Amino acid sequence: MALSGIQIYKLLPQTNCKECGFPTCLAFAMKLAAKQVELSACPYVSDESKKQLAESAAPPIRLITLKAGSEVKAGNEVVMFRHEKTFYNKPGLFIRVKASDPDLAKKVAAADAYKVNYVGMDFSIDGFAVEADGDLTSAVKTIRTVTKRPLILMTKDATLLDSALSLLAGESALIYAAESSDYEPLADLAKKHKAALAVKADSLDALADLTQKIQAKGVEDMVLDSAAATLSASLTRNTQLRKLALKNVRSLGYPIIAFPCDAKDEGIAAAQAIAKYAGFVVLSEFKPELLYPLFVLRENIYTDPQKPIQVQPGIYEINAPNPESPVLVTTNFSITYFSVANEVEGSGLPAWLVVTDAEGMSVLTAWAAGKFDAERIAKAIKGFDLASKVGKKQIVLPGHVAVLSGELEEELPGWDIRVGPREAVDLPAFMKQALN
């Protein structure tokens, strides 16, 4: 059972030395109870207390990392709903491939090369799930000639697995999947090769029973498959799994794996898995038209609502501007930046785009919060030394903050301050007609 803040406090040194970054041991204990800090932040906890605190300090859902040339993490989640705090580790999207496929290398290479940009972020797939319907060892060798992404190995054949896992020394793969009838050899292999082990059962009681047996064999890193055959069943079981894990039912405190590839409507099943509460999602094949919306959905669910998506403040050159090109000003809220940059770029007109540090807020919000005012804009213009790049010294303010133009003139004597349109979509016409 998790300990309360007061129970944790009783196990701390109670010297209030502040070395953990908190003013008192009690404050640290409260944060530890809320799982917002690591126990290791206090250097003075006794070994005896550490032992007692270990359970309380551990996250309710174990962090599982699949690792090769890149990493995929799942687990460490602490809430049911994102608005309660945030979700931490985006589910990894894996493409299922067959060991027997004569075009294996070609298909893996195509999926591996896929990269798509969404409001300044690059997305790509996370790994491959290899179905051992042929020579698994050869398939793993082939895959490793074209990608270093993490692998899920789908077979129950211990001999095949042993050989394939030997090729992946230094990596952390996932073995899929142990069931009550065959878990022992697979658990032995997971332990031997330091791999994670997926555990499959068709009821939560059976899953909990199996994870305890596997843990008793020395395997800590597990992933759960609740073997739900319908959308309704997967929603119910995954939700129950998350709830029970957050109630510190340790035998169910592991990330979930989902197989939308086996569903009648893969897109809907994948969307459900991302939303509720899969850590690893296996898709049937490489389909960019499915991956792109899934990336966007995943990003929207796993973006911290307390931290707006931001771009780096600075000067952005659009369409090769010259000293006579106008200077446009906006904030570093990602969507605001891309709205402006895309409109100007699409128009073919050259411009300098100055992006100020408004803590990731949009123009109006930043202005209302005092993060986008004349003083800050002038500071950015001077800080980025824009005067050395332009001869015309013409600045275009967003129309929503026309009220700043007078103050900005005072802050930047010698600059021609213009008020642009309110909406980015009107910028090209404004630049053509009003700027000369």
Q: Does 104 bind ligand SF4 (CB under 6 A)?
A: no
Nearest distance from residue 9's CB to ligand SF4, in Å?
9
- Contact set for ligand SF4, span 207-226 (CB under 6 A): none
Our finding on whether 6 is near ligand SF4 (CB under 6 A) is no
Q: Does 141 bind ligand SF4 (CB under 6 A)?
A: no
Of 7-15, 78-86, 211-219, 404-412, the segment contacting ligand SF4 by CB under 6 A is 7-15
With vertex at residue 265, the alpha carbon angle to CA 238 and CA 75, rounded to the nearest 5 degrees, is 30
The reply to whether 34 sits near ligand SF4 by the rule CB under 6 A is no
Residue 22 within binding range of ligand SF4, rule CB under 6 A: yes
Residue 41 parent element (H or E): none
Please report how close the Cβ of residue 240 comes to ligand SF4 at its closest, in angstroms. 35
Q: How far apart are CA 318 and CA 311, in angstroms?
A: 15
Contact between 25 and ligand SF4 (CB under 6 A)? yes
Instruction: Give, rounded to a whole angstrom, the gap between the first and last alpha carbons of the chain.
Output: 71
Q: Tell whether residue 33 is a contact of ligand SF4 (CB under 6 A).
A: no
Secondary structure of 200-250 in HEC code, one letter for each residue: ECCCHHHHHHHHHHHHHCCCCCEEEECCCCCHHHHHHHHHHHHHHHHCCCH
CB environment 271-296: b (16+ within 10 A), e (fewer): bbbbbbbbbbbbbbebeeebbeebbe
User: Looking at beta carbons only, is 21 or 391 nearer to ligand SF4?
Assistant: 21
Choose which of 6, 13, 148, 368 interacts with ligand SF4 (CB under 6 A). Answer: 13
d(CA 86, CA 99): 38
Which residue of 18, 106, 243, 307 would you call a contact of ligand SF4, by CB under 6 A? Answer: 18
How many Cα neighbours within 13 Å face the side chain of 57? 19
- Supply the minimum distance, in Å, between the C-beta of residue 46 and ligand SF4: 11
**Residue 69 near ligand SF4 by CB under 6 A:** no
**Range in contact with ligand SF4 (rule: CB under 6 A) among 22-30, 110-118, 353-361, 414-422:** 22-30
> What does DSSP say about strands 151-154 and 127-131: parallel, antiparallel, or unpaired?
parallel
Q: How many helices (H) and strands (E) does the chain have?
A: 16, 17
Catalog residues that contact ligand SF4 under the rule CB under 6 A. 12-13, 15-20, 22, 25, 28, 42, 44
